[in-house]
Amino acid sequence: MRSDLQKYRETIPAVADAVQLKETFWLNGRQRTGGHKEIQEVNPEQIQDASQRLLRFAPYLKTVFPELEKTGGIIESELRAIPAMQAWLEQTYGSKIEGRLMLKMDSDLPVSGSVKARGGIYEVLKHAEDLALEAGMLKLSDDYSILAGKEFQEFFGRYTIQVGSTGNLGMSIGIMSAKLGFCVIVHMSADAKQWKKDLLRSRGVKVIEYADDYCAAVEEGRKNSDADPMSYFVDDENSQALFMGYSVAGERLRTQLEQQQIPVDEDHPLFLYIPCGIGGAPGGITYGVKQIFGDHVHCFFTEPTHACCMMLGMATGLHDRVSVKDFGIDGRTDADGLAVGRPSAFVGRVVEPVLSGIATIRDERLYDLMRGLLHEEHIFIEPSSCAAFAALIQGEVMKKYIESRGLNDKMGQATHIAWATGGSMVPEEMKKIYRETGL
């Protein structure tokens, strides 16, 4: 550990636990009532802009992806109650979960099978629209299904899109960009699973592999893209476009809760638990739901013990000025989508006044949770997705948070949503390996 960081280990219990690779649960002391109104870096109008853009692209998306025909070109996932998993969690870990437990199944999002289908696909669509509008080939009033035509394929083929990824972001960027006709290069870190690389290559995507971690892949990808004036780099560390694509999930979630007649208000609190890598997806979702539900929603990020970069960045207040390696943590985890050593500076600062806390979880527990969900609910999600349950099994700290917010007498009417971030595109042979890991 760097000598200048020792003070954080001595004064912040969660940091002390993290350095020893213990599961921990940090509560954000900088969270403020009405904090969502203080955020300056982005604004609610950008959410509406993103939402409208996705509606404009819906005719194109249902044209090129048959699986979107039934939703009219809208990429969205099911919100499902998981009472059997709730009972299993309580029995297995001894933590009472008052209220109802649900799963937001971004693990099954169409097209690319993960939460990254929100932000990643959105940023590619925004870039394509910007290029086509600037070239005079497209008007906002057009039926965007024309983008499936040969002239647009040839037009986009002059341009390149690049991204650094541990896996799922690369899949969403690669699949969408290739479908539009772009040349695509995905720079993948050592943590990325081979099947994800193989799938991308089968879709015509160029994959460059690195022996180093996520941050190195991003840096090399950025350099490569900067050297080509026809190339666009999707910057997972700082991209507002990615962030706003994720934020649309807030209004979508409100609609689903209303359809299921589930209220969210002062007497019916909502708790979200979202796996976190560099922070873009959970940060954008948090911003979006906070704009809808304000202080009635309580958002928690979850991370692997070996890659708890957002917790360290936010707990110390150093954000991207510190990495897990600075604390002597190796950053190696089976949760490939969360295998990030340094957090996003942009996201950490945006969510600082609204995030409730961050829980960490050991890799071996992810497999137990994956098997529990599969057995109890017949739902498969990636091990990294199972980090979403981390806060729910650390009952003592959650009890402390509930008491501090004066919610004790309201938890019977609470709704808990674990946000599943990936899983449906995992090959059967890989699922079998996952099911047998750690047994």
Over residues 149-179, the pLDDT tens digits come to: 999 999 999 999 999 988 889 999 999 999 9
State the pTM of this model: 0.96
Strand partners, 303: 360
Pick the residue with more confidence: 214 or 71?
Answer: 71
What pLDDT sits at residue 214? 80
| Residues 328-355: tens digit of each pLDDT | 999 999 998 899 999 998 999 999 999 9
Strand partners, 359: 25, 302
What pLDDT sits at residue 335? 92
| Residue 133 in tokens | 């509008």
Q: What does each C-alpha distance from 161 to 144, 222, 326, 414 come to in angstroms?
A: 20, 11, 32, 43
Question: Sheet of 206-209: strands edge to edge?
Answer: 206-209, 183-188, 160-165, 231-234
| Residue 430 in tokens | 């890989």
37 touches 108 (CB < 8 A) = no
Instruction: Compute the distance between CA of residue 272 and CA of residue 296 in angstroms, rounded to an integer.
Output: 11
pLDDT exceeds cutoff 80 at 191:
no
The architecture (CATH level 2) of 3-42+70-111+243-436 comes to: 3-Layer(aba) Sandwich (3.40)
Q: Which amino acid is at 356?
A: S
What pLDDT sits at residue 397? 92
Q: Which amino acid is at 250?
A: G
Instruction: Compute the distance between CA of residue 310 and CA of residue 393 in angstroms, rounded to an integer.
Output: 20
Using a pLDDT cut of 90, give the percent of the chain over it: 90
Count H helices, E strands: the chain?
17, 11
Domain 115-239 in this protein, CATH class: alpha beta
**What single-letter DSSP state applies at residue 25?**
E
Buried b (16+ CB within 10 A) or exposed e, 334-355: bbbbbbbbbbbbbbbbbbbbbb
What pLDDT sits at residue 101? 98
Instruction: Compute the distance between CA of residue 147 and CA of residue 59 in angstroms, rounded to an integer.
Output: 9
Pick the residue with more confidence: 93 or 213?
Answer: 93
211 pLDDT band, cuts 50/70/90, is confident
What pLDDT sits at residue 104? 98
pLDDT exceeds cutoff 80 at 381:
yes
Q: What does each C-alpha distance from 314 to 260, 321, 387, 404 come to in angstroms?
A: 35, 11, 19, 20
If you average pLDDT over residues 180-188, what whole number do you get? 95
What pLDDT sits at residue 206? 95
378 pLDDT band, cuts 50/70/90, is very high
Strand partners, 161: 184, 232
Using a pLDDT cut of 70, give the percent of the chain over it: 100
Give the three-state DSSP class for 110. coil
pLDDT exceeds cutoff 80 at 439:
no
Nearest to 245, CA basis, from 342, 169, 145, 321: 169
| Residues 29-59: tens digit of each pLDDT | 999 999 999 999 999 999 999 999 999 999 9
| Residues 266-323: tens digit of each pLDDT | 999 999 999 999 999 999 999 999 999 999 999 999 999 999 999 999 999 999 999 9
Instruction: Please tell me the total number of residues recorded for the chain in this structure.
Output: 439
| Residues 96-124: tens digit of each pLDDT | 999 999 999 999 999 999 999 999 999 99
**What are the sequence ranges of the domains in the chain?**
3-42+70-111+243-436, 115-239
Nearest to 345, CA basis, from 325, 315, 327, 321: 321
Q: What is the mean pLDDT of the chain?
A: 95
Cβ-proximal residues to 321 (8 Å cutoff; 6+ apart), any chain:
313, 345
**What single-letter DSSP state applies at residue 243?**
H
332 touches 294 (CB < 8 A) = no
Do the domains spanning 3-42+70-111+243-436 and 115-239 agree at the CATH topology level?
yes
What pLDDT sits at residue 217? 86
If you average pLDDT over residues 231-254, what whole number do you get? 95
Burial (0-12, 13-18, 19+ Cβ within 10 Å), 274: buried
